């Protein structure tokens, strides 16, 4: 299958095109915080020559317990997302959980994200497709990568070929995910751009009792591996102080990438130390067709 290309804003994503970063806080905390984080990420990615799609969620509906922080909500969140897109001049991505959220959300952002737990929900996929926005579908932790061709087909057969397929780990026993790098070329066989979610791939769902856990130290390893395989984009949740992030407690403290605006460095660490190696991995992976390797 020839690689399909999806244009979002002024950038084009494809498995044979330069790497794009999808980054931002897990949950939308406030207007001021979103403006601060988005400004820092724009500065960082421009210095590194990497395309940026800013992500954040007005609601995180799949928390482990009722006490888990979810975000500022649909009505309060959409105006902020629209403002960030206008102020920063960058594409925006956010989650949708219900079919009726899709159309109004697509007015404020460029990419609708289907959460992993909802990736087989036909009504949600069709409603998202009908907006004409790009759709980033996260592969359910319970699905094989080859099953995602049917998920993508639901969107495409609804008249929208602007599909991204996102790998975020597979369930491995209880409270554990593993990332099978074979999944990335299998997803790419659909032709659609493949996104690797480096932060949720180290999640430990429910691993802290009433909260999820995670192993932040492995994010860099998995991100490098995915880029070396060859993906259209890497997805990373970012926060200036992840241990105090306003979301699902220990999870984000353990797997969100910290950035330091004063140093213009992502503690992945995409910065002066491995900037060239990330670019080299991406260039090498895309230098010739995967079938030739």
Query: Measured between alpha carbons, how far is 89 from 51 in angstroms, rounded to an integer?
Result: 12
Going by C-beta distance under 8 Å and a sequence separation of 6 or more, which residues neighbour residue 256? Answer: 25, 26, 199, 216, 237, 238, 239, 242, 245
Query: Quick one: 12 exposed, middle or buried, by C-beta within 10 A (0-12, 13-18, 19+)?
Result: middle
Using one digit for the tens of pLDDT, what is the confidence trace for 32-81?
999 999 999 999 888 888 899 999 999 877 666 676 667 788 999 999 99
Three-state DSSP at 12 gives strand
- pLDDT tens for each residue of 196-250: 998 888 876 654 545 455 667 778 888 888 999 999 999 988 888 777 766 543 3
- Bridge-based pairing of strands 6-8 and 11-13 is antiparallel
**170 in Cβ contact with 181 (< 8 Å):** no
190: pLDDT confidence band, cut at 50, 70 and 90? very high
CA distance 287 to 293: 10
The pLDDT tens digits for 248-282 are: 433 344 444 554 333 333 444 444 444 445 667 78
């Amino acid at each position: 299958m020839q690689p399909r290309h999806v244009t979002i804003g002024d950038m084009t994503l494809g498995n044979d095109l330069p790497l794009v970063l999808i980054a931002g806080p897990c949950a939308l905390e406030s207007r001021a915080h979103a403006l601060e984080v988005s400004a820092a990420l724009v500065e960082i990615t421009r210095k590194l020559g990497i395309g940026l799609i800013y992500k954040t969620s007005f609601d995180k509906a799949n928390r482990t317990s009722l006490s888990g922080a979810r975000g500022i909500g649909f009505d309060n969140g959409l105006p902020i997302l629209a403002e960030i897109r206008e102020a920063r001049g960058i594409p925006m991505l956010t989650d949708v959980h219900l079919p009726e959220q899709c159309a109004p959300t697509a007015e404020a952002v460029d990419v609708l994200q289907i959460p992993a737990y909802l990736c087989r929900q036909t009504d949600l996929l069709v409603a998202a497709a009908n907006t004409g926005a790009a759709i980033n579908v996260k592969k359910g932790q319970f699905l094989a990568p080859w099953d995602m061709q049917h998920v993508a087909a639901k969107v495409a057969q609804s008249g929208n070929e602007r599909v991204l397929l996102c790998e975020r780990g597979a369930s491995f026993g209880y409270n554990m995910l593993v990332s099978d790098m074979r999944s990335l070329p299998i997803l790419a066989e659909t032709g659609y751009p493949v996104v690797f979610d480096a932060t949720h791939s180290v999640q430990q769902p429910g691993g802290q009792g009433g909260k999820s856990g995670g192993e932040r130290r492995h994010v860099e390893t998995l991100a490098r591996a995915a880029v070396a395989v060859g993906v259209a984009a890497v997805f990373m949740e970012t926060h200036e102080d992840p241990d105090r992030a306003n979301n699902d407690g220990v999870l984000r403290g353990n797997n969100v990438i910290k950035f330091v605006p004063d140093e213009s460095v992502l503690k992945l660490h995409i910065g002066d130390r491995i900037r060239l190696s990330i670019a080299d991995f991406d260039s090498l992976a895309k230098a010739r067709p995967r079938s030739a390797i």
